[in-house]
Chain A
């Protein structure tokens, strides 16, 4: 039984998250999606709980990383479902939350 709230700290994955894909370098968004985000999402997909991803204490978080992780998750499982289950927090750099939201918005516009 999955817990109600699962908090994922990006800094536990990497202090310096990388670029878009695995071929492009270490700690990429694609790797984060496969190893951390997607498994967590699938654990909570049919449960009542949700995921909170804390983006603080990791730098830099570049746009390609968010594209390949949160954006691709939204493309794969549907933006509404992902938006409902996956929440993002960054008190240090609030713009990161906006960037993730922009990814969701663009996926929604495209679909």
Chain B
């Protein structure tokens, strides 16, 4: 018997055993998704998710988060997805970052198919953001020099990557500037969020199991330079438990007190970022918990521009004054966005 025939028979035997195990699992009445193995998907047609003509997490968060929620639900069910962007006419850098984060988290679990937008403006935006480089395409798009995407697979604090993003932003938006304060502010903001994400991961092992714990990707940093405005848009996406989700795990009593004292989640997150609420750490050490207020200090010093934090139901745009409002649908994790503008900070 030649080796090819032996291989085919062994494979057929393994597949038969897998089918038998799967049938037994389904008969046992447990959740069907648990019967599937990594990479194995339900034999159904892809679930179609249609992006709206104007997709932006900042301008219309509820609509995009609703689609994001659907997307993650399909991942949990191990059902393939068709991402239909045909109607998209305008798409923000923030939305692209979140979509890329979802796509990265879906790798090796489901297959994601896509339809490109019919609008040339939307395609140009996607190309500038480096989106085609992160997915398989039939058409060869030009490689974008104006975008950078970094991600970690195990929630580690990789400050070297934060520095790379900061240097990228400075090189594009402020080429004449070599201010260490601004370099430290940009890289420090990303670094503080990386540490925050890592702390949540550690914390979850003491609380409940984090959602989608077997995701390959844990955080994504996306930077995009828009030549027309000379602004670099930086988005940090962590599809974990989120700031308030983490607080609830950390200290349910405190969460209750905050809920009683304040009307909405956005106000709580705003106060945490401004340092007006001191969040006790898991260890109870008062020396910890200074990272988020430090980010707000960078923003106040105008070393970074337009700081926006979205976490669970909270949506805080520090540039827009007024009563913060909560999201209708909670964001699954934390999203942080800021800009590096040519005129921010101290004069070059």
Q: How far is the CB of A35 from chain B (nearest CB, A)?
A: 17
> In the complex, what residues of A have CB within 8 A of residue B183's CB?
59-60
Residue ID in chain A nearest B179 by CB atoms: A92
The stretch that binds B, out of A1-9, A24-32, A46-54, A80-88, is A24-32
CA of A20 to CA of B203, assembled, Å = 14
| B290, A18: Cβ atoms closer than 8 Å | no
Instruction: Name, among A59, A106, A107, A110, the residue most crowded by chain B CB atoms within 10 Å (CB to CB).
Output: A59
> In the complex, what residues of B have CB within 8 A of residue A26's CB?
158, 160
Within 8 A of A (CB), among B282-305: 286-288, 290-291, 294, 297
> In the complex, what residues of A have CB within 8 A of residue B88's CB?
none
| B287, A19: Cβ atoms closer than 8 Å | no
> In the complex, what residues of A have CB within 8 A of residue B166's CB?
59-60
Q: How far is the CB of B69 from chain A (nearest CB, A)?
A: 30
| A61, B188: Cβ atoms closer than 8 Å | yes
A93 in the interface (beta carbon within 8 A): yes
Known: A62-B191, A62-B192, A62-B291. A18 touches B159 (CB 8 A): yes
| A93, B159: Cβ atoms closer than 8 Å | no
B85 in the interface (beta carbon within 8 A): no
Within 8 A of A (CB), among B183-228: 183-184, 187-188, 190-192, 194-195, 198
Known: A19-B194, A20-B195, A61-B184. A107 touches B287 (CB 8 A): yes
| B156, A16: Cβ atoms closer than 8 Å | no
> In the complex, what residues of B have CB within 8 A of residue A92's CB?
180-181, 184
B187 in complex: contacting residue of A20, A25, A60, A67, CB < 8 Å: A60
Q: How far is the CB of B342 from chain A (nearest CB, A)?
A: 20
A15 in the interface (beta carbon within 8 A): yes
B255 in the interface (beta carbon within 8 A): no
Within 8 A of A (CB), among B269-292: 286-288, 290-291
Instruction: Name, among A67, A71, A107, the residue most crowded by chain B CB atoms within 10 Å (CB to CB).
Output: A67
| B159, A19: Cβ atoms closer than 8 Å | yes
Residue ID in chain B nearest A109 by CB atoms: B286
Interface residues on B, range: 20 to 34
How many residues of chain A have a CB within 8 Å of chain B?
Answer: 31
Q: Is the interface of A mostly helix, strand, loop or mixed?
A: loop
| A103, B287: Cβ atoms closer than 8 Å | yes
| B290, A102: Cβ atoms closer than 8 Å | yes
Q: How far is the CB of A104 from chain B (nearest CB, A)?
A: 10
CA of A10 to CA of B301, assembled, Å = 25
| A25, B286: Cβ atoms closer than 8 Å | no
Residue ID in chain A nearest B192 by CB atoms: A62
CA of A18 to CA of B198, assembled, Å = 12
Residue ID in chain B nearest A56 by CB atoms: B180
Instruction: Name, among B157, B158, B190, B288, the residue most crowded by chain A CB atoms within 10 Å (CB to CB).
Output: B157
Known: A67-B288, A71-B287. A59 touches B184 (CB 8 A): yes
B162 in the interface (beta carbon within 8 A): yes
CA of A61 to CA of B157, assembled, Å = 12
Residue ID in chain B nearest A15 by CB atoms: B163
Residue ID in chain B nearest A55 by CB atoms: B184
A101 in the interface (beta carbon within 8 A): no
| B159, A62: Cβ atoms closer than 8 Å | yes
Within 8 A of B (CB), among A72-102: 92-93, 95, 99, 102
| B287, A24: Cβ atoms closer than 8 Å | no
Q: How far is the CB of A12 from chain B (nearest CB, A)?
A: 16
> In the complex, what residues of B have CB within 8 A of residue A16's CB?
159-160, 162-163, 187
> In the complex, what residues of B have CB within 8 A of residue A17's CB?
159
| A19, B181: Cβ atoms closer than 8 Å | no
Known: A20-B195, A62-B191, A63-B195. 14 other contacts (CB 8 A): A15-B163, A20-B157, A24-B195, A25-B157, A27-B159, A62-B291, A62-B294, A63-B291, A64-B288, A93-B181, A107-B287, A109-B286, A110-B286, A110-B287
Q: List 5 A-B contacts (CB under 8 A).
A: A16-B163, A19-B194, A19-B195, A26-B160, A63-B192
- For the complex of A and B, the 9 pairs showing the least CB-CB separation, nearest first, are A19-B157, A60-B187, A60-B188, A92-B180, A25-B157, A25-B156, A16-B159, A62-B191, A16-B160
